[in-house]
Amino acid sequence: MTPKEPVVLVLAPVGRDAQIADSILAKHGIGTRICANLDEVLRLLDSAHCLVVAEEALIHSDRSQFAAWLRDQPAWSDFPVVLLVMRGAEFDKRLAFLDRHLIVLERPFLASSLANSVRSALRARARQLEVKSHLEQKQEVADRQKLLIRELHHRVKNTLANVRAVMGATARSSDSVDSFVRDFSARIVSLADTHSMLTDDYWQTASLQKLLEAELSHYEIHGEPRISLHGPNVALVADIAIPVGMAFHELASNSAKFGALSCPQGRLEVRWWIPDSAGEQVLHLDWQEQDGPIVQPPSRRGFGTTLLERVVTVQCNAKIELHYNPDGLRFTMALPLRDTRLVPAYS
């Protein structure tokens, strides 16, 4: 059986009916398979499109499994059966279970009658399979919608928790209302940018490259590129992308205030890679600043340090290091990657 050619099962074990039917249908380009008994038919029914069967083959066999198979067909299915009967004979009531599936063809039959009956059956089956495909697509959309709603509720809850945490931490680290408004607004904008990337992918993943570009692109000087980003395409699932995006914002903001991005000659290079490994995939990222002001360790722990050391390490299970080298801040991160898309991507 090939998926491109509808297969008609033929069960007529007495006489030459099976060979004649096979020959007629073959001349009309219809693929057939002659079966020796009803048990063989039952094994092949799920992949067949039609059954041509002599009434005596059913009458003299145990029909219970065949009847059960027909009865248990889904609502879209009306599997066609072409029943070969003797001309003038009354319909055997033992075959009443075939009623809504039946095309009756009297023997002896014309070649054109058999071919037309089977073609009609195959057209009907093709329409049924189209209905099946349509129903499956509708169900897939419905299932996707349910998952999206669940994910949306989860994200909204997490987002509100993040906003509350950012607001509290910003308030504690601000020395005036103006600085609070400025820093809090910038952090909310960063959070919103990450969420925009996630909603573009149905709340699923965000590109690491795009997260970095969103935070760093406005620090570039026209005609004098001073930020370089190098690494493979990496998609971060939402639960990782949000805290990592916030971490990039804090690093970029700190660099713009005190580090390499605070002066025109300052440079920033960010590299990331994923070593080949048979086990868990781990993203390694290296943030290196240079040619900026001389770096000194901070005198107090700010929001950015707290975010990096607590949120990123705890929520993302990452290992991070901050090196306050005099010639430039260096931040490294080893981040275990997870592939936990809730909603499948559209193809």
Contact (CB, 8 A) for 239 and 203: no
For residues 62-67, give the mean pLDDT: 92
Instruction: Tell me which of 133, 153, 185 is where a domain ends.
Output: 133
Q: Cis omega before residue 108 (within 30°)?
A: yes
Minimum mean pLDDT range among 23-27, 182-186, 296-300, 312-316: 182-186
Least confident of 33-42, 109-118, 128-137, 297-306: 297-306
Percent of the chain with pLDDT over 90: 37
Classified as helix, coil or strand, 186 is helix
- Which CATH number do you get for residue 240? 3.30.565.10
Note the pTM of the prediction, 2 decimals: 0.49
Q: How many other C-beta atoms can be found within 10 angstroms of the C-beta atom of residue 59?
A: 11
CATH number at residue 93: 3.40.50.2300
Query: Is 218 a member of any domain?
Result: yes
Between 190 and 253, name the one with better pLDDT: 253
The radius of gyration of the chain's CA atoms, rounded to the nearest angstrom, is: 35
Q: What is the rounded distance in angstroms from the CA atom of residue 345 to the CA atom of residue 70?
A: 36
Whether 71 contacts 97, CB under 8 Å: yes
Give how many domains the chain has, as a whole number: 2
- 187 with 325, same domain: the answer is yes
Q: Is residue 341 a part of any domain in this protein?
A: no
What pLDDT is stored for residue 24 in this prediction? 93
Return the pLDDT at 26: 92
Q: Say yes or no to pLDDT of 215 above 50.
A: yes
Q: Is the pLDDT of residue 344 over 90?
A: no
> Do 129 and 178 belong together in one domain?
no
pLDDT beyond 80 at 211: yes
pLDDT in tens, 299-324: 766 656 776 777 788 878 899 898 99
49 lies in which domain range?
Answer: 7-133
Is residue 231 situated within a structural domain?
yes
Are 123 and 228 contained in the same domain?
no
Model confidence at 216, pLDDT cuts 50, 70, 90, reads: confident
236 beta partners = 206
The answer to whether residue 125 scores a pLDDT higher than 80 is yes
Q: Is residue 328 part of a domain?
A: yes
Please check whether residues 186 and 43 belong to one and the same domain. no
Is 155 within the bounds of a domain? no
- 186 and 295 co-located in one domain: yes
Residue 203 confidence (pLDDT) above 60: no
Q: Which residue has the higher pLDDT, 343 or 54?
A: 54
